[in-house]
Chains A and B, each alone.
Chain A
Amino acid sequence: MIMCNSAGPPPLTPPERLPVAKAIPEHVPYLLIGGGTASFGAFRSIKARDPTAKVLIITEEGRLPYMRPPLSKELWFSEDRASLQQMKFKQWNGKERSIFFEPESFYMKPDQLEGQENGGVAIVQGKVVKLDASKKKVLLDDGKEISFDKCLIATGGRPKNHPVLEKASEEVRARTILFRNIDDFVELDSAVNSSEAIAIIGGGFLGSELACALGKKSQETGLKVYQIFPEKGNMGRVLPEYLCKWTTKKVQEEGVEVFANSGVIAAHYRDNKVILTLDNGKQVKVDCVVAAVGIEPNVDLASTSGLEVDEIHGGFRVNAELEARSNIWVAGDAFCFYDIKLGRRRVEHHDHAVVSGRLAGENMTGASKPYWHQSMFWSDLGPHIGYEAIGIVDSSLPTVGVFAKATSKDTPQAVVEETGEGLRSETERIALPSAPSAGKPALCVPQESDDFGRGVVFYRRNNIIVGILLWNTFNKMPIARKILRDGAENEDLYEVAKLFNIHES
């Protein structure tokens, strides 16, 4: 709990949890362990292919299936506290929507499931502690047993803690949020409204999105926001170095004080503040710390149930059809699968949960399909950066980035705003009209005014494209999919980039 007493908007209360059901059927045809996005994707597929299917979801979190991306994105930009209390946010088109995929009335009570001629989807709070693949049954922590015909494991992941915070005093730990679910959102929202300073540890998707979201708040309220991470810039494991450094500048413009190349080596509690000491000797004083240092797949069932865990990627190991054992499938963050195109992988993204959940659901109803439709992911960092990506987007791979050089039409003003008066000559030079050149652009020294406003980045392994990043370039995912499927082996990527019309997005 964050203890502070300055006046802010009234704190939110988390939505109620599902009751722990007393009456659960002894047998269900389809059992889904975990109530997140992957389970949602699965029950949609199951019902599509087996219309009268009876599906039971057992969720430890105890909430109706909901989408997590808005917890670090749209919900922070909502001004309407009443909507926020209902976990609703405004989409880009202005339409309001709930983070819950379906309202409670969509689901059936577990004890009604058996008698339903048309089947249905029921959901119950509970914890599965053991799965017997041979006898096709699970054991719950309260001793109940449920047998099934087909079972999905979609247990997701748990946020990791930072080793320093983990060992810190109780006062520090009480002021640390491991951000993952609705409760964490509510807690951080309250902290934002009652704190003078907040530190976010982690430079990945979650840390960077939260930093930008809080940075925007800081411009309104005077909240001080720090972001601390060991990489050279934001999204350092994803973006090539030049782009991640450029991104960090944009994050700073959002009002965030960024400490890149920095590790936290100590955390103390003094005078009602948490003091974080960095490895460069600097200290930051905050009221609240958010650890966004990744998740680990929840594979608790592996040891009790004899299921294999991938030693390299983590997660339950499954085949290309997402099957761990006969009649047992896995989807979402918790599994490592064989991608027939890109090899063994584990992916922690919303769309992957949807895509893998859907595929698992299809295969649970007999489709026998391999992982084929590549999932994508997206992130927005403040008003200037939005990106989408597909495939293996790993900054350690060699990359080719093609960016829209500003045109005579829209450049000068943009470049002036960007670089200031000192580089006006540069502005003029860029603005000069030039004749199209057919060949590959010539090598040139870096320019101060290089603006990575819009473009496409290809990630290559053995001269084959394995990942594509669309940088402020929207609605081009279908093209990216085609290229990824083909691999564009040995192609000139400048020529491939032409297919994206990056100047027009």
Chain B
Amino acid sequence: MSYCRKEGKDEIIFATKEDLAVPSTAIIKVDVEAEEQEEPGLILPSGEINWNCPCLGGMASGPCGVQFREAFSCFHYSEAEPKGSDCYEHFRKMQDCMAGYPELYPGKEDEEEGKEFSNIGSAEVDEVQTDSTNAEDDESHKIKDVSSAS
């Protein structure tokens, strides 16, 4: 059985799993617009790219940020078949820039990840976790690997 007690101004409840599993009657209003503002993810509801997404790590702010943006934008908006096949020139410029910063953009260790590039453009990568720097950096590593392998 669950029980509770009071210590001065502090109330303490011990609740069993079964009791807490009874549906909540609390009414919490959720402001959908505010939610979207909170954690918009990599692709905004408008379809545009959110360059301030923590999931991009240092890609957009780093020394090849401009080249990265041009390549990624080209890919994101590409209507060619296969997608991004019209972006060769942008990617070449990005690669040229990155070659000058081997510490920031390590070499092609994992070719397989190249396939994931299309995932960056999809809304799948919207686990924006500004809460945790760890999550943030994991994402940035992923994307760094991906773009250098493409």
Contact = CB atoms under 8 A, between A and B. Distances in A.
Nearest to B12: A401
A435 interface: yes
B44 interface: no
B80 interface: no
A372 B31 contact: no
B10 A47 contact: no
B1 A47 contact: no
Contact of B103 (A103, A108, A358, A488): A103
Contacts of B17: 404, 407, 503
Interface in B2-32: 2-31
17 contacts: A48-B56, A49-B51, A69-B133, A101-B58, A121-B61, A242-B7, A376-B131, A398-B10, A401-B12, A436-B21, A437-B2, A441-B13, A483-B28, A497-B20, A498-B21, A498-B22, A503-B20
A320 to B, nearest CB: 15
Nearest to B67: A118
B137 interface: yes
Given A106-B58, A355-B130, A446 B5 contact: yes
B101 A492 contact: no
B22 to A, nearest CB: 6
Interface of B: 1-31, 34-35, 37-39, 51-52, 54, 56, 58, 60-63, 65-67, 69, 101, 103-104, 130-131, 133-134, 137-138
B131 A402 contact: no
B4 A93 contact: no
B65 A351 contact: no
A51 B56 CA distance: 14
Given A47-B65, A241-B8, A435-B18, A491 B26 contact: yes
Residue among A67, A444, A481 having the largest count of chain B Cβ atoms under 10 Å: A444
Interface string A376-409: 1000000000001000000001111111110100
Contact of A404 (B12, B15, B24, B51): B15
B52 A51 contact: no
A427 B72 CA distance: 60
B46 to A, nearest CB: 15
Contacts of B51: 48-49, 51
A436 B16 contact: yes
A434 B16 contact: yes
A67 B133 contact: yes
Nearest to B34: A485
Contacts of B19: 436-437, 441
Which 6 pairs show the lowest CB-CB distances between chains A and B? A47-B61, A444-B3, A441-B2, A498-B24, A48-B52, A436-B18
Contacts of B58: 44, 101-102, 106
Nearest to B63: A120
Interface string A354-380: 110010001000000000110010000
A388 B131 CA distance: 10
Contacts of B24: 495-496, 498-499
Residue among B65, B67, B137 having the largest count of chain A Cβ atoms under 10 Å: B65
B11 to A, nearest CB: 5
B104 A103 contact: yes
B13 A498 contact: no
B10 A242 contact: yes
Given A48-B61, A106-B101, A498-B21, 14 more contacts: A43-B61, A51-B65, A92-B134, A97-B134, A121-B61, A241-B10, A388-B131, A399-B11, A403-B15, A441-B19, A442-B4, A494-B13, A495-B26, A499-B24
